[in-house]
């Protein structure tokens, strides 16, 4: 039951007013570094087999802080371009207020599966989801093969990518992914089993991590059924 800890990077100077996309050299600002420091402290006791990151600077900085602050420091953050931000093409760097006046904005909101962002390097939202979900499947297999089926790992990525991964895990069509939120420096946790994924937490910006620590005796306390089963009544 591999566990994925999805982390969105901390705040940057562009987060919120502008669409950063693949803007190079964009680091965390003071607010973002403070957020990431707090998150790294919360995650420090959670056993993780690897820390993986989008190659963009703001994610790498976030991932490196988590890796360095872990109780058992992770020597190297591994980069995977498939967890990189959506390629917004000609929208990159523009203000969200300005983009909200574009006809494509309404399609992004209501029918994102039909969207391809303008420009030579503009990407389709469906393609972005496909590459990110494929990366999760690959890493699940890699982590389980190297560290056992109950291992956990961290992936640091971007808001729309995290939302797309969560939509897939919840069995939602991509057109519903705008109903999901992933705030800067938030933690989203998904446990993958052979039968189905379980979304354990979503957009957490301050909760405890006790439920992410290994149980003293694996398999106890489930209340019936296998690890793939959802407990009837919600569970204890």
Domain count, the chain: 1
Distance CA 183, CA 205 (A): 8
* Residue 82 backbone phi and psi in degrees, to 5: -65, -20
CB-count burial class (<10 Å; 0-12, 13-18, 19+) for 71: exposed
Assess if residue 104 is contained within a domain.
Answer: no
pTM of the predicted structure, to 2 decimals: 0.90
**Tokens 């992410």 label which residue?**
212
Both structure tokens of 74: 């992770």
Q: Could you tell me if residue 30 is inside a domain?
A: yes
State residue 219's pLDDT score: 45
Distance of CA 3 to the CA centre of its chain: 12
- Tell me whether residue 215 is in a domain: no
- Whether residue 228 is contained in a domain is answered as no
Q: What is the pLDDT at residue 217? A: 55
Per the structure, the complete domain to which residue 199 belongs is given by 2-86+124-205
CATH no. for residue 42? 3.40.50.1240
Q: 162 in a domain, yes or no?
A: yes
Per-residue pLDDT at 212: 80
Q: What confidence score (pLDDT) does residue 27 get?
A: 96
Which pLDDT value is given to residue 71? 82
| Residue 214 included in any domain | no
47 occurs within a structural domain: yes
Helix axes 57-68, 30-43, angle to 10 degrees: 40
Going by C-alpha positions, the residue among 17, 135, 120, 126 that lies closest to residue 84 is 135
**Tens-binned pLDDT, residue by residue, of the chain (236 aa):** 899 999 999 999 999 899 999 999 999 999 999 999 999 999 999 999 999 999 999 999 999 999 998 888 787 999 999 999 999 999 999 999 999 999 999 999 999 999 999 999 999 999 999 999 999 999 999 999 999 999 999 999 999 999 999 999 999 999 999 999 999 999 999 999 999 999 999 999 987 887 788 876 544 444 555 565 545 444 45
Per-residue model confidence (pLDDT) at position 146: 95
Question: Is there a domain that residue 93 lies in?
Answer: no
Distance, CA of 112 to CA of 176 (rounded, Å)? 8
């Amino acid at each position: 039951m591999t566990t994925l800890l999805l982390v969105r990077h901390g705040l940057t100077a562009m987060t919120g007013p502008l669409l950063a996309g693949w803007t190079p050299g964009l680091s965390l600002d003071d607010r973002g570094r403070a957020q990431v420091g707090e998150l790294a402290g919360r995650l420090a006791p959670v056993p993780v087999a690897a820390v993986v990151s989008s190659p963009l600077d703001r994610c790498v900085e976030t991932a490196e802080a988590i890796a360095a602050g872990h109780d058992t420091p992770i020597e190297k953050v591994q980069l995977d371009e498939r967890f990189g931000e959506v390629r917004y093409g000609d929208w990159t760097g523009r203000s969200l207020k300005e983009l909200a006046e574009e006809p494509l904005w309404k399609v992004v909101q209501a029918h994102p599966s039909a969207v391809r962002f303008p420009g030579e390097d503009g990407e389709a939202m469906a393609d972005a989801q496909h590459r990110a979900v494929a990366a999760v499947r690959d890493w699940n297999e890699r982590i389980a093969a190297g560290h056992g089926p109950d291992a956990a790992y961290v992936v640091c990525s971007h808001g729309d990518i995290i939302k797309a991964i969560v939509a897939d895990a919840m069995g939602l069509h991509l057109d519903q992914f705008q109903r999901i939120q992933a705030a800067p420096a938030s933690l989203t946790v998904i446990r993958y089993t052979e039968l189905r994924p379980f979304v354990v937490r979503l957009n957490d910006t301050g909760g405890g991590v006790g439920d992410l620590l290994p149980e003293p005796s694996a398999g106890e306390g489930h209340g019936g059924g296998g690890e793939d089963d959802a407990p009837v009544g919600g569970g204890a």
